[in-house]
Amino acid sequence: DTGVSQNPRHKITKRGQNVTFRCDPISEHNRLYWYRQTLGQGPEFLTYFQNEAQLEKSRLLSDRFSAERPKGSFSTLEIQRTEQGDSAMYLCASSLTRRGNTIYFGEGSWLTVV
């Protein structure tokens, strides 16, 4: 079990630029989640996939955000035309429905928009 892997771990970008984060879930986990966390708050749900299907998107996920999981394995989260309010930690998590859906988080990708 190699755990959930995310990269890059840190990203500083100028406002208006696009950024992409990658997540590699625990192997064999069929569900993959993206959360966003700001300082002093709990993680907020953004979206989740079961295999390659994106089953739910939060209203937090504006049209500048897009997530994909093309082959049901790794996933990418792209933010277009970044804004300062996008600065946060983006957490990826995965789970296996057969095991009670315990959700395991990666170490997160910190985004700072300047």
Chain positions contacting another protein, by CB under 8 A: 31, 33, 35, 41-45, 48, 50, 55-56, 89, 91, 97, 100-108
Instruction: State the minimum distance, in angstroms, from the CB of residue 56 to another protein.
Output: 4
In angstroms, what is the minimal distance from the CB of 81 to another protein? 26
User: What is the closest distance, in whole angstroms, from the C-beta atom of residue 104 to another protein in the complex?
Assistant: 6
Pairing of strands 31-37, 88-95: antiparallel
Of 74 and 80, the one with the shorter C-beta distance to another protein is 74
For 1-114, list the strands marked E by DSSP.
Answer: 5-7, 10-13, 19-24, 31-37, 44-50, 53-57, 65-68, 75-79, 88-95, 104-105, 109-113
